[in-house]
Structure 1
């Protein structure tokens, strides 16, 4: 934690912890008589095409969300974030910075079935230079502010957690099975990503009208294999019903 007059920077071990803090504290907790606001700290120079939308109704259909996002530009990717919250969270990548900016302006506070969207920029690590990205994750702390090194997620001091590199696996599935793979309120695909520790993107807008839709899985070789087998099992069960 880095305290400043009137505000503070807090480092969290992962994105899920940050989301939980934002949804639990922002606008809901008073400190010394003032309601505190909590959001991601993203410097203006690192605000690019990626945004995060929180407090999405769990029953909202993907098609409705896709249609809403498309009103503000070309959506390149929508990724559901696995969280412990009751509502859904997605990371959205637009084609341009201008489209992302307009989406934030128009969708912040957007009401849907008594749910109010919370929208903010998230760090585009692909666009950020290594030094800038590191400082941004630490909320702008300089080296002299940091004090002694703190244990990282892997238990080592100041060192990032090491893991096998992720690999992309692309597969084609019959269009009629896409709904079953996603599942009601996105629960089926969320279960796949959670169990296999994979990032799964279903490219529903590609190949409009085609008999097959592509799915991209990003994970370790073992994670890709497990996710692929789970998706195949879902299709097999759906075909037998």
Structure 2
């Protein structure tokens, strides 16, 4: 399933305009553009082409003064407990992300996905569809370190389709096996080994670093996930 939803399409945009955008960025498509009021659909020949369209165009390319939004199209019946979360800050701590995801339900798995983008991407499975729906509503557009998260459904391929045609709503297609080098299901990013660092501090500054009743040093160790010995 490599059908794309193209959102935020200007009323002035035509099928030929969208074809020109795809040609300009050398993104193949296997069928005509179906242009509606404010959005459009198109088929790509394979998953690689669909992902390139999303990575290159979504939120980055303008057409008649409006930034295009490009995502996989997922029919309502195929919406599942699984979400794909994109545009995660590249240096985000995994524990912080876990805490945010857990606010909306029981997270059964969280798989990091390798992409060509600077920001991170994860596939998340919740324990129930209503939990996934709540996370979708709350996290899509959520700002993290000046990055707006982009959240979409990963379709349930076992669900019956809604019928022929292009109808459907936006979301992400299942990605199949992880790309080469990507971690397995539920894997966490590799953590660097602990590196000891010795810092010599003049006696008159020790109190300022430790803080009242040790508050300052506790805050430093908490934020940096480090330990302190003296």
- Superposed pair shares fold, TM > 0.5: yes
Query: Aligned pairs, how many?
Result: 152
Contact 1:47-1:123 at 8 Å conserved across structures: yes
Contact 2:109-2:186 at 8 Å conserved across structures: no
SS in structure 2 opposite 1:22? helix
Pick the aligned partner of 1:200 from 184, 196, 201.
184
Contact 2:83-2:123 at 8 Å conserved across structures: yes
Contact 1:107-1:119 at 8 Å conserved across structures: yes
Quote how far apart the aligned CAs of 1:46 are: 0.8
Aligned to 1:10: 43
Quote how far apart the aligned CAs of 1:116 are: 0.9
Q: Distance in 1 between matches of 2:167 and 2:46?
A: 16
Aligned to 1:80: 112
Q: How does 1:8-87 map to 2 (within 5 A)?
A: 8-14=41-47, 17-87=49-119
Pick the aligned partner of 1:123 from 144, 151, 155.
155
TM-score, scaled relative to structure 2:
0.56
Aligned alpha-carbon RMSD (Å): 3.4
Over 3 Å counting, the alpha-carbon distance change for 1:99 and 1:31 in structure 2 is: same
Gaps of 5+ in 2: 1-30, 169-176, 197-230
Quote how far apart the aligned CAs of 1:13 are: 1.8
SS in structure 1 opposite 2:124? strand
Quote how far apart the aligned CAs of 1:3 are: 1.7
Q: Distance in 1 between matches of 2:187 and 2:148?
A: 27
Pick the aligned partner of 1:101 from 133, 137, 149.
133
Larger fraction in helix: 1
Aligned to 1:114: 146
Quote how far apart the aligned CAs of 1:18 are: 3.1
Structure 1 segments of 4+ aligned residues over 4 angstroms from their partners: 138-141
SS in structure 2 opposite 1:90? strand
Q: Distance in 2 between matches of 1:63 and 1:85?
A: 22
Gaps of 5+ in 1: 142-165, 167-189, 205-233
Quote how far apart the aligned CAs of 1:79 are: 1.0
Quote how far apart the aligned CAs of 1:44 are: 0.7
Q: Distance in 2 between matches of 1:203 and 1:87?
A: 18
Higher RCO structure (Cα 8 Å, ≥6 apart) = 2
SS in structure 1 opposite 2:184? strand
Confirm or deny that 1:92 pairs with 2:76: no
SS in structure 2 opposite 1:200? coil
Q: Distance in 2 between matches of 1:203 and 1:31?
A: 39
Over 3 Å counting, the alpha-carbon distance change for 1:48 and 1:80 in structure 2 is: same
Quote how far apart the aligned CAs of 1:28 are: 2.7
Quote how far apart the aligned CAs of 1:53 are: 0.4
